[in-house]
Amino acid sequence: MTQALDTQTAIAVIGAGAMGSGIAQVAAQAGHKVYLHDQREGAAEAGRAGVAKQLQRRVDKGKLEQQTFDAIVGRIHPVSALSEIADSGLVIEAIVEDLEIKRTLLADLEELCNEETILATNTSSISVTALGAKLRHPERLVGMHFFNPAPLMALVEVVKGLATDNAVAEIVHATATNWGKKPVFATSTPGFIVNRVARPFYAESLRLLQEGAADPATLDAILREAGNFRMGPFELTDLIGHDVNYAVTNSVFNSYYQDTRFLPSLIQKELVEAGRLGRKSGQGFYRYTEDSERPEPGTEPACQSDDTRLIVEGETGPAAQLVERFREAGLEIVERDGPGQLRFGEAVLALTDGRMATERARLEGTPNLTLFDLAFDFGKATRLAVSVADQATDKARADACALLQKAGISVSVIEDRPGLVVMRTVAMLANEAADAELHGVATKEDIDLAMKAGLNYPEGPLSWSDRLGNGRVFQVLTNIQNSYGEDRYRPALLLRKNHHADKGFYA
């Protein structure tokens, strides 16, 4: 078993901004002596003071003992010259995201430190292979990508460049574990794991907004209250900053030779050009002034129906818990064979399969069709998105809404678009994750862990895909691709293979 660096090993962090200071805090909390260096005069001292300020709040709340506070802060040593870090066993650079500037620093560190010193880069987007290309010993360079804020976020991506020694990566992985983190291995490909696999979370809602499916507040609410994501994509990009999020999307898009899966959004481009960068500028998709209020999501008013009988035709798959909620609400449940749909009054309801309700209604001869969206947990979801076929009667629409409301579910009717919201987003996340596994970016276990630990997803996309049932994500993507006629929605080769083998990623 690979040994982590022990606490007698000094750690150096170059760059004393929010990220560098946070990394210094993490290493100091783990018991290491930490050198903190920044070329800006006074920045290292300010970084240490910032750590002390953050920790003092915990002391004041009784969550941290004064003795522990003194020990942690006392282990962080601001240094003004690089020569003072020469005895470090691990040096982590967290400076500006610029290839040449980082290369220059790494070359200086290689000359300064002894041959056993591990050099790590906290880059979020620059190739570790490219950073090490001009070093005499690129095998000792590894990516150690923390997420902001470093003391709170559990994930660390340990990124191996083409020349990185596996033993070096394993030491860094073990060390990150000892620091209380959840490290994952990744190869040096654009976006690594998280910044690549997460693109559809933003991209699909941005596209739905551009297509007029719903407004940002409604789409955010659907992904929170049905998908169980911590934040919706619009409030999250407002928090990240649209300049940052848009730049990452462009970087991944260009790095993959303009693959349409990563196509940037014109809506987000306009926000950046207008200076509406989100929270930090006071306005993004939402306003952040003292007198501003968050818009309410689109929610159907109470719908009335005197019907008390629900006909369940066939297996409802992931939505089986929804049927149980209707039973608990006092409805009479009649079960019979069929294609996996619900009949209530004039309404016919079915889980989206990636087609539009209007198209499916015509092809299946069910004009009163309403499609409902995926939920992370149908037994607990408080909101569902639905789309209603153009052919449906007003009574059928009202019956569909009334049925869901009987189970205590808020209903958001969106424009009829392929795959609705949660299903479409989860399918695309799983698709990108499948491609990342196929290309050897990371193992399926590390991909799922990265998305949960790095972005607080309720479940890893590959595990979620398996839970939906073999072939469902493949079917959804195939139908969405047929609707748009675009390569963007092509199912990943591994998804296609698993579909035809009738197996999941973990089965």
What is the β-pairing status of strands 341-344 and 332-336?
A: unpaired
Q: Tell me the CA end-to-end span of the chain in Å, nearest whole number.
A: 28
CA distance 286 to 284: 5
The one catalytic residue in 21, 88, 122, 124 is 124
Which runs of consecutive H residues, i.e. helices, occur in 96-241? 99-112, 128-132, 166-178, 194-197, 199-210, 216-225, 233-240
| Cα angle, residue 165 at apex, residues 89 and 25 outer, rounded to 5° | 35
Q: Residue 388's closest CA among 348, 342, 354, 341?
A: 348
- Marked catalytic residue, from 145, 173, 242, 499: 145
Dmax over CA atoms of the chain, in Å, equals 80
- In the three-class reduction of DSSP (H, G, I as helix; E, B as strand; rest coil), residue 61 is classed as coil
Decide: 135 and 107 in contact? Cβ < 8 Å. Answer: yes
| Torsional sign, CA 277, 281, 287, 288 | positive
* Peptide bond preceding 367 in cis form (omega within 30 of 0): no
| Helix, coil or strand: residue 375 | coil
Catalytic position from the list 122, 195, 245, 265: 195
| Per-residue tokens: 23 | 């990394």
**Integer CA distances (angstroms), 399 to 302, 308, 342, 365, in order:** 11, 11, 11, 19
Catalytic, 498? Answer: no
Decide if 125 is catalytic.
no
Contacts of 413 (CB under 8 A, 6+ apart): 298, 300, 385, 386, 387, 388, 397, 401
Note if 21 is an active site residue.
Answer: no
Rg (CA), the chain: 26
Q: How far is residue 62 from each of residues 56, 58, 59, 68, measured CA to CA in Å?
A: 10, 6, 5, 12
Cα separation, 172 vs 3, in Å, equals: 9
* Residue 235 a catalytic site member: no
Structure-token pair, residue 129: 């292979």
Cα gap 280→293, rounded to integer Å: 17
Catalytic residue (one of 21, 32, 37, 157): 157
Tell me how far apart the alpha carbons of residues 261 and 489 are, in angstroms, rounded to a whole number: 7
Q: Using DSSP, state whether 356 is helix, strand or coil.
A: coil
Catalytic residues: 124, 145, 157, 195
